[in-house]
A and B are shown apart, each in its own frame.
Chain A
Amino acid sequence: MDKATHSYVYYPGCSQHSTGLEYGLSTQAVFQRLGLELAELPDWNCCGASSAHALSHTLALALPARNLALAQARGSDFVTPCAACFNRMKGADYAMRTDPEVRSQIEELLGFSYTGQMRIRPVMGVLYDDYGPQRITEQVKRPLTGLKVVPYYGCLLVRPPQVVQFDNPDNPQVMKRILQALGAEVMDWSYATDCCGAGLSLSRADLVQNMVSRLAEHAREAGAEAFVTGCPLCQVNLEMRQTQAARLPAFYITELVGLALGIPGVEKWWRKHLIDPRPVLHSAGLAG
């Protein structure tokens, strides 16, 4: 394949340097292994995440738009692992492409001219659409046979559908197909795009505990031993807010791709989890 089509502007987002550390590490390791080049956007800034839009309409658009302004000249697709960053970037892109008034307001504020040509994509989308499950399977060194998981998207990767234009908000398929390509046993369940409670986690831990514990119950009922997610906020909520005695770990999709590809050093990702995933891996014969 043409190398130029497989180079991406990489926007890590704040959480890849904090609570989502292992998501960033595994994303970079997997992309490198598959020959997909990530060039980090220099001097990127926070997208405003789940807070800017609660306080200011202008900030909610201008913060992500500054990153789009920096990235658009590079001529390659914009890729981010974080579901919230992806959502805010797509939101700003959508607003500027569909509302000329908003567009000129943001262009003026930031002093740039938006082309609207750059594709903004989640890591999972690149793995699925550009590399493809078939070729992933060909690269698998260590099939995840016997690892029973449920894909958990949360909200921001798939909603609102006309804005994010990724997968299916009611019955998403992308993560399932990637996991099946790795040989994992993907359990059917109906809660893949239910909300985990998101940014309410600190101020209303009680609500988020209820939401997350319900997800864990449904996952267990489906026969899963772990969640798989593509969102750092979901991941931390899932691992921090389960109230059951026996808790299910939450893998990032890229961690499991990395494990199946036989990437060395996966052990250091597992150690970052609040719920140790090694017992689950061990019982599937995938530890060590």
Chain B
Amino acid sequence: MENSLTSEVQRLSGENIDLCYHCHKCTAGCPVVQSMTYGPDRMLRMVTLDQRDELLQSQDIWLCAGCYTCATRCPNDIDISAVMDALRQIAISSHAPIGERDALLFHRLFIGVVQRLGRSHEAATLGLFKVLSHTPKIQDMDAGFNLFIRGKVPVLPHYSAKAAADVRQIFKKSESEEN
């Protein structure tokens, strides 16, 4: 039976979850499933059963690495990676408590920098992530230092004013369309 979550996912992802006959190929091939609570196959079932809270508050929707293994192997051609993206977008817009706070923080910082500069800027993203995330503060300090001395996290962004201005417009228009 149709429910609100199924149709919301379909609208955002273009994928028809009702086609799933639960062969479990997605879960069998998922490289992060051992860290998940449900795994992709059960998550699709939870969408059709409208188990909103459990699903949208789960870590699982943020642990998906977007590798498209499930999407490639699904016998019914459901792009499950796109379904995961849709569930993340729904979790954010419905203000659900976020199951993997730091994963969302990273995406927001990355995109926030792109919104302002038109391009990614690692020094800003990594620096802000280090300050704001709950990951151990000393984690990756050595790797960060090694990247820095190799000139791989330049302090100044590689900047184009035109790209930055156009990208700000894209963000404005996207936001007004999605609201």
**Bound form: Cα–Cα A44–B133 in Å:** 30
Please pick, from A43, A58, A195, A271, the residue contacting B178 in the complex, using a CB distance under 8 A.
A58
Interface residue B174 (Cβ < 8 Å from any Cβ of A): yes
The proximity string for A residues 10-43 relative to B, scoring 1 for CB distances below 8 Å and 0 otherwise, is: 0000110111010000000000000000000011
Interface residue A240 (Cβ < 8 Å from any Cβ of B): yes
Interface residues of A in 183-230 (CB under 8 A from B): 194-195, 197-200, 202-205, 207, 211
In the complex, are the beta carbons of A17 and B139 less than 8 A apart?
no
In the complex, are the beta carbons of A49 and B65 less than 8 A apart?
no
**Bound form: Cα–Cα A230–B158 in Å:** 22
In the complex, are the beta carbons of A109 and B177 less than 8 A apart?
yes
The proximity string for A residues 28-69 relative to B, scoring 1 for CB distances below 8 Å and 0 otherwise, is: 000000000000001111101111111111111011001000
**Bound form: Cα–Cα A44–B122 in Å:** 17
The minimal Cβ–Cβ distance linking B112 to chain A, given in whole angstroms, is: 10
The proximity string for B residues 143-172 relative to A, scoring 1 for CB distances below 8 Å and 0 otherwise, is: 100110011111000101011101100110
Given A19-B122, A45-B118, the answer on whether A52 and B111 have CB atoms closer than 8 Å is yes
Q: Which of B19-27, B38-46, B50-58, B97-105 contacts A (4 or more CB under 8 A)?
A: B97-105
Cβ of A50: which chain B residues have Cβ within 8 Å of it?
66
Please pick, from B63, B139, B178, the residue contacting A207 in the complex, using a CB distance under 8 A.
B63
Interface residue B89 (Cβ < 8 Å from any Cβ of A): yes
Given A56-B174, A160-B71, A202-B133, the answer on whether A194 and B111 have CB atoms closer than 8 Å is no
A residues with CB within 8 A of B: 14-15, 17-19, 21, 42-46, 48-60, 62-63, 66, 99, 105, 109-110, 155-156, 159-161, 169, 194-195, 197-200, 202-205, 207, 211, 240, 271-274
